[in-house]
Amino acid sequence: MSSTFAPGHWPAPAQAPQAPVWRFARELRQQRDGAERSAMQWRMPRNSSFVPGCLLRVFLALAVVSLGIGGAFWWLGAPAVLPLAGAELLALGAAFWICSRHAGDVETLTLAERELNVEHRFGRGVENAAFRAEWVRVEPVHGEDSLVEITGQGQRMRVGRYLRPELRSALARELRQALRLECTRPSAQQEQMELQR
């Protein structure tokens, strides 16, 4: 038995151009000056298994148990246990406080109207930078899995701290693609001029 492959009688259906699929970004709709504008946002939070409220409840439960045990030993005649329980709670409280300060750490990139805004929140600090989409460079800092460096107009920001290293190159490719698309779209001023004609 033999088989032969011949070209099909019908040409392959033409595919309509599809919108890009974003892995890290989400599309936003913003109202500004009575017109709806689209924007892209990348939000990369720190991977934190506890939120501050949950940490507080865990700490309070541990404090009740530890102070209860320390109080029982105090009552039974071993007074040294209670100060040790207090020191333990003090150290644990300091560690939980540091964790809760950094639970809200996040990197947010917003691309709208040909401007890329980068914001990095860490603890109580905030770093901001704004870049024109036409002048931005997106490159790895050292190698393929290093942080992504965004440079332009004399400014420099590094992003990707809260992503796994193997995903940073995919983030850089997605940012470059979104920047290219944003630069090909007509700006809000150009759209207004077209409407006035």
- Nearest in space to 144 (alpha carbons), one of 123, 122, 160, 166: 166
CB-based burial label for 118 (10 Å; 0-12, 13-18, 19+): buried
What is the chain's mean pLDDT, rounded?
A: 84
The predicted structure's pLDDT at residue 99: 81
| pLDDT tens sequence across 160-192 | 999 999 999 999 999 999 999 888 877 666 666
Q: Cα dihedral sign for 95, 98, 104, 109?
A: negative
57 has a pLDDT exceeding 70: yes
Residue 169 carries which side chain, given as an amino acid letter?
A: S
Q: What is the CATH number of the domain that holds 137?
A: 2.30.29
Number of structural domains the chain divides into: 2
Residue pointed to by tokens 């560690």: 95
Whether residue 41 is found in the same domain as residue 120: yes
Task: Tokens 């490719």: give the residue.
Answer: 173
Phi/psi zone of residue 85: left (φ > 0), alpha (ψ -120 to 50 degrees), beta?
alpha
Percent of the chain with pLDDT over 70: 83
Do 36 and 74 sit in the same domain of this protein? no
Question: How confident is the model at residue 157, as a pLDDT?
Answer: 94
- Asked if residue 109 and residue 41 are part of one domain, the reply reads yes
Q: Lowest mean pLDDT: which of 24-38, 56-70, 162-176?
A: 24-38
- Range list of H helices, the chain: 52-76, 81-101, 168-184, 188-196
Q: What pTM does this model have?
A: 0.71
Question: Does 115 lie in the same domain as 29?
Answer: yes
Query: How large is the average pLDDT for residues 92-109?
Result: 88
- For range 73-77, the mean pLDDT: 92
Assess whether 112 and 178 both reside in one domain: yes
